[in-house]
Amino acid sequence: GKNRIVIPCLGHFKEEYEKVSKLYMNNKIRTTRYTLLNFLPRNLFEQFHRVANLYFLFLVVLNWVPMVEAFQKEITMLPLIGVLTIIAVKDGLEDYSRYKMDKQINNLVTKVYSR
Q: What's the confidence (pLDDT) of residue 15?
A: 79
Q: Is residue 115 part of a domain?
A: no
Q: Is residue 21 part of a domain?
A: no
Contacting residues for 107 by C-beta, under 8 A, at least 6 apart: none
**What domain count does the chain have?**
1
First to last CA, the chain: 8
Tens of pLDDT along 40-76?
Answer: 999 999 999 999 999 989 988 888 888 877 777 788 8
Q: Is residue 17 part of a domain?
A: no
Domain region containing 71: 31-107
Instruction: Please compute, for residue 53, the number of CA atoms within 13 A of its CA located in the half-sphere on the CB side.
Output: 16
Task: Please compute the mean of the pLDDT values over residues 17-27 and round it to a whole number.
Answer: 76
How much is the pTM? 0.68
Q: Is residue 42 part of a domain?
A: yes
Q: Is residue 39 part of a domain?
A: yes
Q: Is residue 20 part of a domain?
A: no
